[in-house]
Amino acid sequence: MQILYDVRHWVAAACVDGEVFVANSVGDAISPTVARQLKAIYGHLVGADGSLDVCMMPWAQQPNGSDCGVFAAAFLFEWAVMSVRANLNVKFNLPIMRDHPVFCLDRELVIPFPKLPLTRSYKAGVSYVK
C-alpha cells in the first residue's frame, strides 16, 4: 500500500495479487504524475504497450480542499484492516479524523477511522446522520 502525491493532492494505492487499486477522495481520474508513480512502483505489471490496468475503488468524497491526505490515510487503514475490496464509500467522522492516526500510533494499533452511522434516505437511497 502506498500514498502517492501530486501537486497538493494525496491518493491511496495498493497492489494485491497483481491487481492495482486506487482510491482518490476527489474523483476517479488519475493525473499523469500519479500514473507515472504507479507505473514506477508496479512496473512489473506494466504491459508491453506501456499501460497499467488500475481498479478505481468507490470512495468517500472529501468535503473540502484540504483533507485529501487524511482521506488517503483512512483508505489505507480500511484496506489494512478489512481488504482492498472494502467499501470506501462511507461517511467518515470528519471532526475527529485528524486525531485518529495519532491515537493509533500512540497505542501501536491499526484500526479503521471513525465513521458516522448510516441511515436510510428516500431521495438518494442512503444518507448519513449529521
Helices (runs of H) and strands (runs of E) counted in the chain: 4, 6
The residues spanned by each domain of the chain are: 2-128
| pLDDT tens string 58-99 | 788 888 888 999 999 999 999 999 888 878 888 899 999 999
What pLDDT was estimated at residue 125?
A: 34
Q: Are 104 and 91 in contact (CB under 8 A)?
A: no
What pLDDT was estimated at residue 129?
A: 32
Cut 0.85: pTM above it = no
| pLDDT tens string 99-130 | 999 999 999 999 999 998 876 543 333 323 33
CB-CB neighbours of 11 under 10 Å: 26
Q: Which residues of 63-98 are buried (b: 16+ CB within 10 A; e: fewer)?
A: eeeebbbbbbbbbbbbbeeeebebebebbbebeebe
What pLDDT was estimated at residue 80?
A: 92
| pLDDT tens string 17-47 | 999 999 999 887 889 999 999 999 999 999 9
Q: Per the structure block, which three cell numbers stand in for 62?
A: 472529501
What pLDDT was estimated at residue 7?
A: 84
Decide which of 52 and 86 is more confident.
52
Grouping H, G, I as helix, E, B as strand and the rest as coil, residue 22 is strand
